[in-house]
Amino acid sequence: MEKLNIIVKLLIITGFMSLAGCCFDCIDNEPPAAPRGLYSITGDEEVLLMWYENTEPDLVGYRIYQSLTPTGYYYEIGETNLDYFLDYGLTNGQTYFYAITAFDNNGNESDLSYEIVYDTPRPEGYNEKMYDYHVEPNYSGWNFSAYTTVPYNGSSCDIYYGYDNIDEAHYIYIARPGGLIQDFGYTESLDDITYAPDNGWSLTGIVEAIVGHTYIIWTWDNHFAKIRVTSINTDYIMFDWAYQIDPGNQELVHDESSQQGG
C-alpha cells in the first residue's frame, strides 16, 4: 500500500511538472509581422493612412508613429484596431513622415513598417465660382494662395475664366507670365489627379473648360494646384480646387504607384 501511495505521488508530481512546463512553453514572445503596404492620402490639414491588415489570430491593433524628418525620432500619435488612421489638425505645407507597428494581446509589438511614407497636407475647396471676365471682371479670376476670387487683370490673379462668342466655347486662361496649365481630361473626382506632371503643358496658356475635366496649374511663383470643373452656366463656371502651399512640391494627393506616400 505504501508503495502504491509513493507511485501515485510521483505521478502527481510528474504531471504537475509536465503541466507547468507546458505553460512555460505556451508563453507568447513572438511579435506580429511588421505591417505592409502603408500609404497615405493627402487632405486639407489632415492625412489618411491605410495599410494591409495583419493576419495573426491574436492581433489586437496597430500603433501609429510620426516624425518631421525621415531619419528622425518617430513618436507615437495613436492606436487603432482598423486598417486605416486619420491624422488631423496638421499644418498645411508641412511634410510629415509615418510608420506603424502591429501589437498582439500579449503586448508583443512588431518592428516599424518598412515603407518610407511621407505626406504634405494642402488646402482645398469646393463649389467655387469664376464669372465670365466679359461680364463680371472683378469676380472672374482666382488666387490660389488667398483661396478667393479676384479681378482677372489684377496682379494676384493666377487663372481666370471667359466665354468666347466666336468659338462658342468656354476657356480657362493663365493670368500671369510664367504660369502653366494643362487639361488632364475627365476624372471622377478631384482626387483622381495625384501628382503634377513635368510636361504636357499648354503652349498657349489657354485650355477649354469642360465639365468633369480636371486641370493642373503650375503658378508663376512655383506652386502646383488643380481644379475640376463641376458645372458651366451662362455667366460662370463652378469648380473644386486644391493648392500645394509648399513651393515646388508636385504632390497634390496620394500617388498609389509609389510607396513614398502622399
pLDDT digits (tens, 9 = 90+) for 41-94: 888 999 999 999 999 999 999 999 999 998 889 999 999 999 999 999 999 999
C-alpha separations of 138 from 98, 132, 162, 205, 207 in Å = 43, 10, 12, 21, 21
With 50 as the cut, is the pLDDT of residue 167 above it? yes
Determine if the pTM surpasses 0.75. no
Neighbouring C-alpha atoms within 13 Å toward the C-beta of 260: 7
Q: Which long-range contacts (CB under 8 A, 24 or more apart) does 255-260 make?
A: 255/194, 255/195, 256/39, 256/194, 259/38, 259/39, 259/115, 259/116, 259/117, 260/116, 260/117, 260/118
Q: H helices then E strands: how many in the chain?
A: 1, 17
With 50 as the cut, is the pLDDT of residue 17 above it? no
* Residue 5: per-residue pLDDT: 58
* Residue 27: per-residue pLDDT: 82
Closest CA to 47 of 84, 87, 80, 85: 87
pLDDT tens, residue by residue, 92-111: 999 999 999 999 999 999 99
Average pLDDT for 129-136: 97
| Between 120 and 210, residue with greater pLDDT | 210
With 90 as the cut, is the pLDDT of residue 193 above it? no
Provide the 10 A C-beta neighbour count for residue 216. Answer: 22
Contact 32, 47 (CB under 8 A): no
pLDDT tens, residue by residue, 203-246: 999 999 999 999 999 999 999 999 999 999 989 999 999 999 99
Strand runs labelled E in 134-246? 141-143, 148-150, 159-164, 169-174, 180-186, 206-208, 213-218, 224-232, 236-244
- Nine-digit cell string for 215: 486641370
Torsion, Cα 9 10 16 19, to 10 degrees, reads -140
With 80 as the cut, is the pLDDT of residue 23 above it? no
Average pLDDT for 136-155: 96
* Residue 69: per-residue pLDDT: 92
Average pLDDT for 180-194: 93
Supply the mean pLDDT for the chain. 88
| Between 240 and 2, residue with greater pLDDT | 240
- Nine-digit cell string for 261: 506616400
* CA angle (62, 66, 70) in 5-degree steps: 125
39-119 CATH: 2.60.40.10
